[in-house]
């Protein structure tokens, strides 16, 4: 026990004496939680639209003015020639072209009109797709308005829309839990590994290896400070989310902390295991990055797991962040209880035990 206490003391002293670690631990969570939600947004704005108006009627004018008034769309040009706007599309000045055929208004009154054609630059698939959708919605609204002026029932009264749990469909509320996980991975994943490999590079680990200190004691003493730092980071992250973005967990904070503890155990255990197999900082960093890429891109942090191919969905069951992101999002947005999420907690618990035992047993004192 005495050995454990002096070792933990040593780790804290070393972190405190490091010229930049303490700053990083405080500034990093605040920066990421404050700035990234503003930047990481999937909302498509500023879609530049060209309207090729061959009709020149009240209807076509109204469509154009609705496009202009839209929060997401910008009316970049109105021409009477398709070739002009295609040129603009090629030059990147325009993202979507809306062509309203001649006699559209007249035909609408008497018969089936020629179709309005929409051409989108889909190089940026998200922007093209979303821009297209916004335009279809805008046109549909215009047309139903026109129709509504002639018939008593309005379309907007026929359909009601409600987004449950993230009522404003705020993409930030979806991203903030993911950012918290990225923070854990960076701080509790990288720092313990670098600390161990640092001891290998400076040779101090040899002086430890020649003592009767048990592998488990050494490993736990190495990790404990980072667990505490991790809990500090989750607290800061939750505070920033609340103060800056008004995001308050609907469910219990206890569930978030329990998940955080299990997730931090897991990721730091993985980190030490990697360090045990590496001799240099470069090796460690490179292998850590490999895992982090997979964690970030495949665990449902940024894109929904449900839209992945089936084999990838199966693969995600062995990725620890997948379970914690589910806990975070459900607790934050839906208020799901620990009991309902038990399977996620159990999965994280199993990972935590496996990785930490692996870390303790892959640490070789004698080679």
Residues in touch with another protein (CB under 8 A)? 2-3, 5-7, 9-10, 13-14, 17-18, 202-204, 206-213, 365-367
φ, ψ for residue 96, nearest 5 deg: -135, 140
User: Residue length, the chain?
Assistant: 367
**Judged by CB, which is closer to another protein: 18, or 41?**
18
**Judged by CB, which is closer to another protein: 9, or 46?**
9
Inter-residue contact 2 to 217 (CB < 8 Å): no
* β 117-120/96-100 pair status: antiparallel
Non-local CB neighbours of 199 within 8 Å, separated by 6+ positions: 205, 208
Residue in this structure with the two tokens 């379309």, named with its chain if needed: 155
**Judged by CB, which is closer to another protein: 91, or 202?**
202
**Judged by CB, which is closer to another protein: 13, or 346?**
13
**Judged by CB, which is closer to another protein: 52, or 221?**
221
Helices 253-277 and 191-202: crossing angle in degrees, nearest 10, is 30
**Judged by CB, which is closer to another protein: 19, or 112?**
19
Task: Give the shortest CB-131-to-another protein separation in angstroms.
Answer: 55
Task: Give the shortest CB-12-to-another protein separation in angstroms.
Answer: 11
Task: Give the shortest CB-3-to-another protein separation in angstroms.
Answer: 5
**Judged by CB, which is closer to another protein: 4, or 171?**
4
**Judged by CB, which is closer to another protein: 1, or 39?**
1
Task: Give the shortest CB-17-to-another protein separation in angstroms.
Answer: 5
Distances (CA, A) of 43 to 48, 61, 145, 326: 15, 27, 26, 22
How many alpha carbons lie under 13 Å from residue 39 in its C-beta half-sphere? 7
Inter-residue contact 334 to 247 (CB < 8 Å): no
Inter-residue contact 301 to 178 (CB < 8 Å): yes
Task: Give the shortest CB-285-to-another protein separation in angstroms.
Answer: 21
Torsion of CA 269, 288, 42, 159, to 10 degrees: -40
Task: Give the shortest CB-20-to-another protein separation in angstroms.
Answer: 13
Q: How far apart are CA 299 and CA 321, in angstroms?
A: 6
φ, ψ for residue 61, nearest 5 deg: -65, -40
Q: How far apart are CA 252 and CA 254, in angstroms?
A: 5
Task: Give the shortest CB-215-to-another protein separation in angstroms.
Answer: 10
Residue in this structure with the two tokens 């503890």, named with its chain if needed: 261
**Judged by CB, which is closer to another protein: 163, or 207?**
207
Residue in this structure with the two tokens 């054609």, named with its chain if needed: 117
* β 96-100/47-53 pair status: parallel
Task: Give the shortest CB-254-to-another protein separation in angstroms.
Answer: 35
Residue in this structure with the two tokens 């897991």, named with its chain if needed: 266
Q: How far apart are CA 51 and CA 285, in angstroms?
A: 51
**Judged by CB, which is closer to another protein: 56, or 200?**
200
| Beta strand ranges found along 171-267 (DSSP E) | none
Q: How far apart are CA 284 and CA 272, in angstroms?
A: 10
């Amino acid at each position: 026990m005495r050995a454990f206490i002096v070792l933990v003391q040593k780790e804290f002293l070393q972190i405190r004496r490091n010229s930049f670690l303490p700053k990083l631990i405080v500034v990093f969570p605040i920066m990421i939680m404050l700035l990234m939600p503003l930047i990481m947004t999937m909302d498509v704005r500023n879609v530049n639209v060209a309207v090729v108006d061959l009709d020149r009627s009240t209807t076509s004018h109204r469509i154009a003015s609705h496009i202009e008034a839209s929060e997401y769309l910008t009316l970049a040009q109105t021409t009477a020639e398709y070739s002009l706007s295609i040129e603009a599309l090629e030059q990147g000045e325009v993202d979507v072209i809306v062509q309203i055929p001649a006699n559209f208004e007249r035909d609408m009154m008497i018969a089936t009109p020629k179709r309005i054609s929409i051409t989108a630059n889909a190089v940026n698939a998200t922007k093209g797709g979303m821009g297209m959708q916004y335009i279809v919605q805008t046109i549909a609204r215009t047309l139903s308005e026109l129709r509504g002026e002639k018939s008593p029932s309005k379309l907007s009264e026929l359909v009601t829309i409600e987004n449950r749990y993230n009522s404003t469909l705020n993409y930030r509320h979806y991203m903030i839990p993911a950012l918290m996980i990225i923070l854990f991975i960076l701080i509790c994943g990288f720092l313990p590994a670098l600390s161990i490999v640092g001891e290998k590079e400076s040779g101090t680990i040899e002086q430890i290896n020649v003592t009767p200190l048990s592998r488990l004691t050494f490993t736990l003493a190495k990790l404990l400070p980072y667990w505490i730092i991790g809990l500090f980071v989750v607290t800061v992250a939750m505070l920033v989310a609340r103060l800056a973005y008004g995001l308050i967990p609907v469910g219990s904070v206890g569930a978030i902390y329990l998940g955080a503890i299990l997730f931090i155990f897991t990721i730091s255990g993985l980190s030490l295991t990697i360090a045990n197999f590496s001799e240099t900082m470069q090796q460690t960093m490179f292998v850590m990055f490999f895992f982090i890429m997979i964690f970030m891109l495949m665990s449902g942090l940024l894109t929904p797991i449900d839209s992945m191919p089936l084999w990838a969905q199966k693969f995600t069951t062995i990725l620890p962040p997948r379970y914690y992101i589910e806990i975070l999002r459900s607790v934050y947005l839906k208020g799901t209880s620990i009991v309902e999420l038990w399977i996620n907690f159990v999965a994280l618990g199993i990972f935590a035990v496996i990785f930490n035992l692996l870390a303790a047993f892959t640490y070789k004192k004698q080679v």
